[in-house]
Every structure is written in structure tokens, then in C-alpha cells.
Structure 1
Amino acid sequence: MDKGVRKRRDGNPKLDGSLKDQLQTDGVIKGVAGDRQFVTALARGLEILRAFEPGDGPLGNQELAERTGLPKATISRLTYTLSALGYITYLERLGKYQLGTPVLALGYASLAGMEIRQTARAAMQELADKESVSVALGGRDRMSMRYLQTCHPESLATLRLEIGARVPIESTSIGLAFLCALPEGERGYLLERIEERSGEEWPEIRDGIAQAEEDIAKKGFCTSFGKWRSDVHAVGVPLVPRDGAPVMAFNCGGPAFMLDQDRMEQEVGPRLVDLVRRLATNRGDINF
């Protein structure tokens, strides 16, 4: 079986790919082509929609082929079909496509179904305003973390990542916190994938993950001081929903020149832990 495909306990394939690493999944799709329950055409169509990222602008068939790894002829048929259904819109002047309104409806329906976003928002905004930090809630999207809710203080004009933003798992506080809360099987699988794509950087990344695990056990939060971006300091805390929903994580962060390490360790980190613990207690979830 292809390395990008693992069987879940229910017998269904769990797909994972990574923009090039994230989205080039034709090999993954072919890896389950023998599964009679798996609809390859549907999977390829969804990969086209996944190829559009916030801030990208319109994409042409060539760009979609490069991002997904799908053949150009296949891309052409899929974009024609998705355009006919309204999921993407063809911009004749540019010769490119952009996402259509029906995709927006799907996104809003998904977000509206995540009750935790509404439950946590007031406390997140309060912390953001009090500490002059950005506060975010995120979940895994393949080999990245995707922001599901964000709150910012008025005083912070930079580094305002919004809902839908995607950041790495292995170098951000939100990603490290998420990794530390995963069940052993899923965590091991993700670590294998991270090692595969990290190359010579893997030993340093492995040590960072181990340190995050130790920090969460001792303090309830982990840190990322310049690991993702040299000018960003952040702390992260995991949350495990008891209802069987996927593991999530919270983070607080901002410009390093505004948030020195001592302040993040002594003030911001403990306050984020308190926020998540209160939320977990009220919802009956598990916090670390």
C-alpha cells in the first residue's frame, strides 16, 4: 500500500498528502484505486478544490496540475465539471479559475457545526485584549494546522493570521501542542511523515517535539520561540474533546519584540492553560 494511505479501524483508507507535499496526491489516490468503495473521480475533484489557498488569487489548469500532481487532461475535465456545478468560476479575461459561492457555503456549514468555536470565542478575545496577543484555535489539515477560530487585540496590527490560515505542525506551538495530545498510533504515523519530509532537519525537529512533550507535562503548555518564524513567539495548549471529535489545540502569539520569552513563560502561557482548562471543564473535555 502507498505510504500516504493507512487503514483505519473501520477499514476505510485514511488519506494524507502534503502545497506540493500537501496536495500532490495522485499517487495516494491510485494507492486505493482497488478499493471498490473509493471513488477516484470524486477524490480528484476534491483535490482541485483543496489546491486553492487563502491569498492565492485565481489559478489556471497548469498551476492546478503542478499543485495536485494530476495529469493536465484530467485537470481540464475536472475544472470543466466543477465550473459547470458552480464550485469554481472561470475568469475568461485571465484564463483562470477561482472558488465559487457553493464552496463558501460548505465552509460556513463546517465552521457552524464546530460548537467549540462559539464556546471559546469570548474567553479567547478577552485573553487577546488583556495580553495584546493573537489567540487561535486550530485542528489538523493533513500535515499542517488549520486555524478554525482567531481573536486579535486592536493593538496588534501585524501577524494577524485569520480563520483558514495554515501553519506547519512541527515548528509552531499550536502544532506541537496538537502532536503531544494525539493517540499513540496517529502520533507515530505523523512523526514518520514529518521525518520523511524533514531530511537533515529531523533530529532538531525530533528534539523540539520531545521538549514540547516535557513542557506540557510540567507546565501545561509548550513554546515556539523563533522556530516557525524568527520574529514570532508563541505558546500552545492541547484540547482533547470527549465526544470523539478530533484533537484540537490553542495558541497565543505575536511579534517577538513585543513578547519576550519571560513574559510568554510567566504570564501568557499560564493564562492560556487556565483558559483551556476552564473550557475543558465546562465541556467535559480533556486538557493536559
Structure 2
Amino acid sequence: MSELPESRDRRFATTLARGLSVLRAFRASDDGLGNAEISERTGIPKSTVSRLTFTLQSLGYLTHARRQDRYRPGPALLALGNVAQASISFVDLSGPIMQRLADETATLSLLLVRDGSRLLIVKTWRPRGVSSLWLEAGHRLPLKGTSSGHTLLAAMPEDLFAATVVNAAGDRGLTAEGASKARQDAYAQLITKGYNITPPDEYFTANIHAVSKPFQSRDLAEPVVFTCGAMPKDLTVERMEAQVGPKLNEAIKELERIMGQPPSITVRD
């Protein structure tokens, strides 16, 4: 687990940060996690993980059914997630818009947020009656080599961009110079087209094509990213340019109008 710049501040509560790292280690596809697996995913020593999981279980944030000593998200975490979703109004408002977009374009539509040095998928909308990518809520994507990651870099304010690049340095070869170029290229597309497509030869994996657009909610201090993705054979660059990108752009504009917000990306001084 890489050190956060904030961890050098005396106000930073390391134990709390580690406890939250344990909760973030879980993925929707997991059939529970043992202490050793949590330690491997977080980089926290197993002895420390054991104390954290015991405490989180005692508070209801993890549950432990004694099946091979595996932990699962608990009822307190479910309640906390429901409160968070209810308080961030754009999440529910975006649902019908993004489901319609998924159906019209036959792509998997995603909502992603920054999670430290990576992006975390928090919502997915699958096209009805069409097989789609296996990506699901809880999956993490790198900043480098993804349309979502480059779009987030482009939409960040300068101070957050600088701090994020420091924290993410080295992940899949990310450098400050490379991050700045990705930010500039994505920003240029967002201003001229309204969406961003990272060139496929820069993708971190060859089995996904995607187009992305940021959204800055009044409920949050930093932007999030909406993305449409599919297998390259189903979502060519030409199709992204001609159909999916423009439809994604209009979908996010519709969300901005519903919420009475200005455009999330504007020309910088």
C-alpha cells in the first residue's frame, strides 16, 4: 500500500486509514476474504489486519460466519453505503439516463470515482438482452492507459492532479510527464468533442475499448467519470467517434440540466 501524502500530516489517523483500506479490499465477486488475502491486497501486515478485522466485525462493518474464517461486508457497511448514495443526489438521477444509454449503444455504462491512486467502479448499467463486459462494482482500473483514468486526470483541479500523480507514480509505469501529457490530450478532446477516447495502443489491456466523460457534482469536491465500454470487436474507434461518444456527451449534459449545474468541463484560463 503506497503512502499517502496526507499521512505525513500530524492530523492523519493512520489506524483509521488502515481500517478503511481493509473495507476497500473487498470486491463484489469475492466469496469472503481471509486475513491473509486482505493483507496481500492492502499491504498491511497480517497481525495488524487480524486486529482490524476483529474490530470491524465487532462494530458490524464486517461479518464472520465462521466459514473457513472468511470475512464479508456487514450490515453496518450496507447501511453506510445506502446513506451515502441517498445523500449524493446525482447517483439516483443518473440511473435512468445511463441505463437508456447502455441499451441504446449496447455497451456497459459505468460510474467511476477516484480511490487513492486508482479508479473504483461504483455503479454499472448493463444493456438489456446483450452480453457485456465482466467489469462490476468494486473493480479498480489504473489511471494510466484507460479512457476513464485520462479523463479523470483532465478534469481534476491542478492541486489534486499533482497530489494524485505523486501517489500513483510507478503504477503501470505512470510518470509525471506521462500523466501531464495524458491530461492535456484528454482535456483537448473534452473541449473539442465533449468526450475522451484514449488511443487503443495506449490501453493497459487489449480487450476493452471505452469512451469517457467527467461529471462534477455540487455534492462532491472532485469530479467523477462516466464511461461506456465494450469489447473492441463490438466497439470500434469509429463507432465510439460516430455514435457512442456523442450519445455519452448528451447523456451527461442531460444530467447537468436536470441538476441545474453548469458544464463540468470548461476552457481553462
Output aligned runs, 1:45-84, within 5 Å: 45-84=19-58
2:173 alignment partner in structure 1 = 199
2:109 alignment partner in structure 1 = 135
* CA deviation profile, 1:127-162 (whole Å, cap 9, x unmatched): 211111122222211122222332221233130433
CA distance in 2 between partners of 1:142 and 1:72 (Å) = 22
Per the normalisation by structure 2, the TM-score is 0.84
CA distance in 1 between partners of 2:95 and 2:256 (Å) = 14
1:132 maps to amino acid: A
CA contact (8 A) 1:152 1:160 kept: no
CA distance in 1 between partners of 2:167 and 2:12 (Å) = 23
Output aligned runs, 1:1-288, within 5 Å: 4-6=3-5, 13=6, 28=7, 31-32=8-9, 35=10, 37-199=11-173, 207-224=181-198, 226=200, 227-242=203-218, 245-283=221-259, 284-288=261-265
Per the normalisation by structure 1, the TM-score is 0.79
CA contact (8 A) 1:90 1:96 kept: yes
Greater alpha carbon shift after TM alignment, 65-74 vs 245-254: 65-74
User: What secondary structure, in the 3-state scheme, does the structure 2 residue paired with 1:252 have?
Assistant: strand
Displacement of 1:102: 1.7
Q: Unmatched 5+ residue regions in structure 2? A: none
User: What secondary structure, in the 3-state scheme, does the structure 1 residue paired with 2:212 have?
Assistant: strand
Displacement of 1:243: 5.2
User: What secondary structure, in the 3-state scheme, does the structure 1 residue paired with 2:30 have?
Assistant: coil
1:24 alignment partner in structure 2 = none
CA distance in 2 between partners of 1:263 and 1:271 (Å) = 11
CA distance in 2 between partners of 1:79 and 1:235 (Å) = 38
CA distance in 1 between partners of 2:134 and 2:113 (Å) = 18
Q: 1:210 to 1:155 in 2, by over 3 A?
A: farther
User: What secondary structure, in the 3-state scheme, does the structure 1 residue paired with 2:198 have?
Assistant: strand
Larger RCO, structure (CA 8 Å, separation 6 or more): 2
Question: Would you tell me which structure has more strand in proportion to its own residues?
Answer: 1
Q: How many residues align?
A: 261
Aligned-CA RMSD value: 2.6
CA distance in 2 between partners of 1:166 and 1:83 (Å) = 24
Q: Unmatched 5+ residue regions in structure 1? A: 7-12, 14-27
